[in-house]
A and B are shown apart, each in its own frame.
Chain A
């Protein structure tokens, strides 16, 4: 029969509110942790990354937090807009092992209500 994909976790927020998307990673040796945004019919687009020796990094309207103790990564989006609606993936990369292979986690679908 036809294969069915996994059901993505979803997050629904009101326009103007802040959004927090969470991710658990597996490899303590990863050098960078990255957030990607994927809109329908498009490839993943880089949003922000954080090096493994940092705890927090801020961009424009986005902040990434890294908690290495519990292997947890989060993406905070301030003043969420309808254009932020997409699937968000976390990814990790080890530059010197595995040839710099990106390992993606399960995505979260963000819906912004106007």
Chain B
């Protein structure tokens, strides 16, 4: 079974520039998550999608971050404009969804963003 795919794996940009990350979840997984992991910390949820609808975006800095999952499969996360403190690993995860007998989330390898 193919895992969660993310691209790019690494990105270096200057502050105030824009960047976008892409995620392809495991086939059949209805729920998709974006996490931000700052160096030395555990992942923090930014946004959770159920199919193409947003379930939780309470910790997404909406003045600069946006995310979409238009067809309920792939998702993109965008930062515009980037700040130095956005330097982190951005992880995508997916799960079957509620009522499927398991809550388990499967994580992709992440995109390491460096803002200079």
The chain B residue sitting closest to A4, CB to CB, is: B39
Given the complex of chains A and B, what is the CA–CA distance between A69 and B103 in angstroms? Answer: 25
> Which B residues between 90 and 116 are near A, CB-CB below 8 angstroms?
91, 93, 98, 103-110
Residue B61 at the A interface, CB < 8 A?
A: no
Helix, strand, loop or mixed for chain B's interface?
loop
Contact string, B52-78, partner A, CB cutoff 8 A, digits 1/0?
000110000000000000000000000
When distances are taken between beta carbons in the complex, the residues of chain B under 8 Å from A45 are 107
Count residues of A near B (Cβ-Cβ below 8 Å): 28
Given the complex of chains A and B, what is the CA–CA distance between A99 and B40 in angstroms? Answer: 26
Residues of B within 8 A of A (CB): 4, 33, 38-45, 48, 55-56, 84-85, 87, 91, 93, 98, 103-110
Residues of A within 8 A of B (CB): 1-8, 32, 41-46, 89, 91, 93, 95, 98-102, 104-107
